[in-house]
């Protein structure tokens, strides 16, 4: 069951980070100060009188009760003097960690927390509409699990749960990533808040130096922008960041050969570029179609591979220099097992050799925490050795680009990672989408057979290109998984034709409904914007009227005072006139927010400035 309070807390932590980011560049610990303040206020309201706490465990329990997260007591001990100093409340903190709180401290997140709850409900409602349109079961918890997958893997030592989900979860997330809309921002907040909430489970004491990153085929392909746009952004960001931090990059000679073989095969398959582009957004040929690249570009990449590696500062680890590891890998019992899983002996051998290399580099190191690691096998696809599943992420041999990027950010939140919230979320979530799809979509052999069947049907029954494209898209998104694809091959021609037509019709209905919903949403937003503009204009007009009235009244009062109030009173009624005049010109004038009236006058000369102030200070 979804814990909406916990999701709101995640979203709130992200909001606080966005609002007070510059104050938290050294450590994310400061983000938890507002939560402690709000917790103390709630404790005070609940009790109704002064709080006399025996120790900080009471605050720890109250934070967990109110916000569903745990702030370690040592952190609370560190933050309480700061809370006390800048809170505005009446505090007494004793050396034995007992405390007395007499009045509420200044807290700005009460309304913010409720706003985050509303945003969570909006996301849930949007996802519910999406599921209804797709005619699939609605389960908001599945979406939350997908968003929090990286957090659960890294910090909670859980296995990934996304493989067993239905295709529509990853499709919804991918649609949001591409649109980068209002709901994507909510997803980003839940994601980043979850990462921030895990901050106390992960600490780096020393600066990370002299670390080697051994890259795999996928990482390099992403780095030269022949994978998805999101993969390129993540790998390029990580590459630039780690190079600046002094990390060293290397690549196995066997990996270089694997890259050459891969590029050669894509050159041969270039005629089928459009098919592969539709089936797999992470395929090299899909990147070629998206970027408008021709066959000669791939050939140039293959021929210039070593030069490009040299220019990027990626050194090649030649087989002759690791002969013992090479021979050990060839005799490994795991080689056949991994070959059966991968379906390719060379690929399996390369991965095992990489693991042996990293293990050799670490042989004299005790890996107790993240900064102890001196070598990683860096890839751009989630792959954990089954023997390492129970180990903390920093004790594993391999790490993904998205995982390393988020860990480096946690270690140093001041790192320049674009818009850290959207970049980190996009990196992790897009990797999850590709991971899900690669696990589910049919093999190349099955796809070719289906392609042949469809080609024959197209000749005999005049199937439209649009119908074929929609079928390919369903396969690429995992809706038609391996089992379903195998079943399609067993269908008779009439049955397969009926399947394609039915799928096309369902897709058209969904697209039509989605288009109508988007139009309605656009119209609603337009009406809302018009209403807000009208409200602001009304507020401006009211401000101007009162501003002019204020100016006239002040002028009249001062004129009357100068004309009729004796500056040197003698009689009692002259003194009374002085007192009345003083009350009118000081107490009454300042009783109201006179800047409200002054802004009304200023608006005649600087209209845009005052409209901006109205929007900020007097929200519609």
Q: What is the pLDDT of residues 197-232, one digit of tens each?
A: 888 877 655 556 678 999 999 999 999 999 888 888
H helices within 389-492, ranges in order?
A: 401-411, 420-440, 444-461, 465-476, 482-490
- The mean pLDDT of 547-556, rounded to a whole number, is 81
- pLDDT the model gives residue 620: 46
The more confident residue out of 575 and 81 is: 81
Secondary structure class of 463 (helix, strand, coil): coil
Which DSSP letter does residue 372 get? G
Q: What is the mean pLDDT of the chain?
A: 83
Could you give the percent of the chain with pLDDT greater than 90?
23
Give the 3-state secondary structure of residue 549: helix
Q: Is 130 helix (H, G, I), strand (E, B) or coil?
A: helix
In three-state form (DSSP H/G/I as H, E/B as E, the rest C), the secondary structure along 567-615 is CCCCCHHHHHHHHHHHHHHHHHHHHCCHHHHHHHHHCCCCHHHHHHHHH
- Per mean pLDDT, which of 104-108, 127-131, 160-164, 592-596 is the most reliable? 127-131
- The first and second tokens of residue 300, run together, are 């140039």
Q: Is the per-residue pLDDT at 192 higher than 80?
A: yes
Three state DSSP letters for 306-318:
HHHHHHCCEEEEC
Task: Give the C-alpha separation, 18 to 180, whole Å.
Answer: 17
**How many helices and strands (H and E) does the chain possess?**
29, 8
Q: Which residues pair with 194 in a beta bridge?
A: none
The sign of the dihedral angle between the CA atoms of 393, 395, 400, 403 is positive
Q: Which residue has the tokens 């197209």?
A: 458
The answer to whether 227 and 390 are in contact (CB under 8 A) is no
> What tokens does 109 get?
């997140």
Q: In which residue are the tokens 């694809």 written?
A: 485
Structure tokens belonging to residue 363: 């042989």
Average pLDDT rounded to a whole number, residues 134-154? 91
Contacts with 456 (C-beta within 8 Å, 6 or more apart), sequence order? 493
- The answer to whether the beta carbons of residues 413 and 434 sit under 8 Å apart is no
Span 226-282, pLDDT tens digits: 988 888 888 888 898 888 888 999 999 999 999 999 999 899 888 777 766 666 778
**Cβ-proximal residues to 249 (8 Å cutoff; 6+ apart), any chain:** 212, 213, 215, 239, 242, 243, 312, 313, 314, 315
Kindly give the residue spans of alpha helices, DSSP state H, lying in 198-322. Answer: 217-223, 229-245, 253-268, 273-279, 284-291, 295-303, 305-311
Whether the predicted pLDDT of 132 surpasses 70: yes
Which one is predicted more confidently, 417 or 500?
500
For the cut 90, the answer to whether the pLDDT of residue 141 exceeds it is: yes
Rounded Cα gap, residues 12 and 35, in angstroms = 9
Angle 27-92-74 from CA coordinates, rounded to 5°: 35
Per-residue model confidence as pLDDT tens digits over 512-530: 777 777 787 777 778 877 8
Q: Mean pLDDT check: name the lowest of 264-273, 354-363, 413-422, 542-551.
A: 413-422
**Closest by CA position to 375, among listed 391, 405, 355:** 355
53 dihedral zone (left: phi>0; alpha: psi -120 to 50; beta): beta
Q: What is the structure's pLDDT at 188? A: 93
The pLDDT value recorded for residue 276 is 64
Q: For residue range 342-351, list pLDDT tens digits in order.
A: 778 888 899 8
| Mean per-residue pLDDT, 424-453 | 81
State the pLDDT confidence band at 312, using cuts at 50, 70 and 90. Answer: very high
Q: Which residue would you say has higher pLDDT here, 560 or 26?
A: 560
Average pLDDT rounded to a whole number, residues 425-438: 84
The DSSP call for residue 292 is: T
- Strand order through the sheet with 91-93: 51-53, 99-101, 91-93
In this predicted structure, the answer to whether residue 358 has a pLDDT above a threshold of 90 is yes
The closest alpha carbon to 466, from 179, 493, 458, belongs to 458
pLDDT of 478 > 90? The answer is: no
Residue partners of 607: CB distance under 8 A and separation at least 6? 540
Higher pLDDT, 143 or 88: 143
Instruction: Report the pLDDT value the prediction gives residue 417, as an integer from 0 to 100.
Output: 63
Question: Model confidence at 124, in pLDDT bands (50, 70, 90)?
Answer: very high
Q: What is the DSSP letter of 320?
A: G
Residues 426, 230 contacting (CB under 8 angstroms): yes
Predicted local distance difference test score (pLDDT) of residue 473: 76
Q: Is the C-alpha dihedral spanning 481, 485, 491, 495 positive or negative? A: positive
The backbone region for 123, taken as left when phi is positive above 0, alpha when psi lies in -120 to 50, beta otherwise, is: alpha
The confidence score (pLDDT) of residue 341 equals 73
Q: Which of 265-269, 354-358, 478-482, 517-521 has the lowest mean pLDDT?
A: 517-521
Cβ atoms of 393 and 399 closer than 8 Å? yes
- Whether 437 shows a pLDDT value over 90: the answer reads no
pLDDT at 204: 59
Number of other residues whose CB lies within 10 A of the CB of residue 512:
11
Buried b (16+ CB within 10 A) or exposed e, 191-214: bbbbbbbbbbebebeeebeebbbb
């Amino acid at each position: 069951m979804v814990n909406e309070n916990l999701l709101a807390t995640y979203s709130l932590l992200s909001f606080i980070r966005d609002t007070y980011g510059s104050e938290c560049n050294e450590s994310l610990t400061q983000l938890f100060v507002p939560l402690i303040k709000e917790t103390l206020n709630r404790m005070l309201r609940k009790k109704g009188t002064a709080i006399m706490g025996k120790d900080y465990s009471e605050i720890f329990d109250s934070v967990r009760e109110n916000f569903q997260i745990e702030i370690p007591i040592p952190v609370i001990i560190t933050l309480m003097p700061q809370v006390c100093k800048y809170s505005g409340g009446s505090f007494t903190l004793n050396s034995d960690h007992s405390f007395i709180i007499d009045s509420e401290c200044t807290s700005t997140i009460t309304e913010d927390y409720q706003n985050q709850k509303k945003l969570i409900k909006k996301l849930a409602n949007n996802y519910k509409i999406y599921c209804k349109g797709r005619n699939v079961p609605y389960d908001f918890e599945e979406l939350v699990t997908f968003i929090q997958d990286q957090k659960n893997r890294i910090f909670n030592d859980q296995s990934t749960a996304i493989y067993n989900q239905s295709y529509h979860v990853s499709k919804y997330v991918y649609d949001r990533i591409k649109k980068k809309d209002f709901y994507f921002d909510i997803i980003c907040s839940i994601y980043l808040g979850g990462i921030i909430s895990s901050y106390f489970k992960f600490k780096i004491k020393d600066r990370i130096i002299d670390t080697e990153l051994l890259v795999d085929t996928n990482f390099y392909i992403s780095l030269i922008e022949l994978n998805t746009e999101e993969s390129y952004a993540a790998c390029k960001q990580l590459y630039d960041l780690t190079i600046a931090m002094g990390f060293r990059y290397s690549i196995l000679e066997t990996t270089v050969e694997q890259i050459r073989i891969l590029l050669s095969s894509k050159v041969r398959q270039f005629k089928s570029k459009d098919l592969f582009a539709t089936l797999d957004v992470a395929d090299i040929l899909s990147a070629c179609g998206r970027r408008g690249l021709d066959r000669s570009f791939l050939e140039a990449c293959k021929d210039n591979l070593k030069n490009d590696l040299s220019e990027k500062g990626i050194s090649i680890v030649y087989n002759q220099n690791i002969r013992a590891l090479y021979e050990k890998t060839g005799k490994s019992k795991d080689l056949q097992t991994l070959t059966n899983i991968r379906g390719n002996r060379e690929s399996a051998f390369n991965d095992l050799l990489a693991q042996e290399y990293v293990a050799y580099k670490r042989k004299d190191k005790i890996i107790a925490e993240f900064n102890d690691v001196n070598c990683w096998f860096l890839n751009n696809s989630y792959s954990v050795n089954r023997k390492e599943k129970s180990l903390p992420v920093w004790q594993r041999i391999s790490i993904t680009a998205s995982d390393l990027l988020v860990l480096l950010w946690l270690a140093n939140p001041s790192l320049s990672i674009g818009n850290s919230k959207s970049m980190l979320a996009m990196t992790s979530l897009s990797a999850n989408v590709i991971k899900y799809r690669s696990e589910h979509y049919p093999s190349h052999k099955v796809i070719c057979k289906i392609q042949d069947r469809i080609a024959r049907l197209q000749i005999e029954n005049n199937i439209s290109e649009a119908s074929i494209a929609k079928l390919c898209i369903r396969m690429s998104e995992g809706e038609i998984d391996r089992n379903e694809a195998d079943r399609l091959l067993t269908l008779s021609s009439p049955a397969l034709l009926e399947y394609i037509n039915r799928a096309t019709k369902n897709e058209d209905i969904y697209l039509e409904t989605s288009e109508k919903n988007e139009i309605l949403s656009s119209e609603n937003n337009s009406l809302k914007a018009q209403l807000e503009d009208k409200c602001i204009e009304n507020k401006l007009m009211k401000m101007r009227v009162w501003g002019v009235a204020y100016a006239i009244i002040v002028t009249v009062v001062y004129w009357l005072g100068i004309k009729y109030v004796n500056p040197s009173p003698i009689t009692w009624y002259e003194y009374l006139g002085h007192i009345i005049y003083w009350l009118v010109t000081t107490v009454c004038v300042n009783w109201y927010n006179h800047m409200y009236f002054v802004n009304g006058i200023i608006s005649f000369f600087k209209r845009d400035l005052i409209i901006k102030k109205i929007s900020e200070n007097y929200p519609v």
